[in-house]
Amino acid sequence: MPGCAWSSPALLLLPLANALGGGTITETLIGLAAVVLINAFALAWLTLARRPRHYRWLSLASAAFDVTATSLVLLVLATNHLPAGLNSLIVWCGYLLAIVMTALRSDGRITLFAGALAVLQYGLLVLVLTMSATSPEELISSDYGAVTASTQLQRLLLLVFATFITAMLVYRMQKLVEMSGTDGLTNLPNRTWLLHRMPRIFEAARVDGSSLTVALIDLDHFKHINDEIGHRAGDRALRHVVMMLRQKTPPGEWLVRLGGEEFVLVLRKPMGAAWERVEQIRRLVAERPFEPGGNADPIQLTFSAGLASYPHEGADLSSLLHRANDRLQQAKREGRNRVIARDG
Whether 175 and 213 map to the same domain: the answer is: no
- Amino acid at the residue 113: F
Tell me, yes or no, whether 257 lies in a domain: yes
Do 172 and 207 fall within a single domain?
no
Separation CA 213–CA 317 (nearest Å): 11
Residue 335 domain flag? yes
pTM: 0.55
pLDDT at 327: 96
Q: Does residue 150 sit in the same domain as residue 174?
A: yes
| Three-state secondary structure call for residue 219 | strand
Cα atoms in the 13 Å half-sphere on the side-chain side of 13: 6
Q: Which of 261, 279, 291, 334 is catalytic?
A: 261
Residues 145 and 254 in one domain: no
Give the end of a domain, one of 129, 156, 180: 180
User: Measuring CA to CA, how many Å separate 101 from each of 6, 9, 14, 150?
Assistant: 12, 15, 17, 27
Domain count across the chain: 2
* Residue that finishes a domain, picked among 159, 180, 201: 180
DSSP E strands: which ranges in the chain? 140-141, 145-146, 212-219, 254-259, 262-267, 303-310, 339-340
Question: Is the domain of 176 the same as that of 248?
Answer: no
Nearest alpha carbon to residue 198 among 311, 280, 279, 275: 311
pLDDT (0 to 100) of residue 99? 93
Same domain, 172 and 195: no
Domain of residue 331, residue span: 191-340
Among 180, 212, 228, identify where a domain stops.
Answer: 180
In a domain, 73, yes or no: yes
Q: CB neighbours of 54 closer than 8 A, spacing ≥ 6?
A: 202, 203, 206
Residue 145, strand partner residues: 141
Catalytic residue flag (residue 262): no
- Do 166 and 195 lie in one domain? The reply is no
Q: Is 185 part of any domain?
A: no
Indicate whether 53 and 83 sit together in one domain: yes
pLDDT-flagged residues of the chain (< 50): 1-7, 52-53
Total residues found in the chain within this entry: 344
pLDDT in tens, 214-238: 999 999 999 888 888 888 888 999 9
Say whether both 210 and 336 belong to one domain. yes
**190 beta partners:** 257
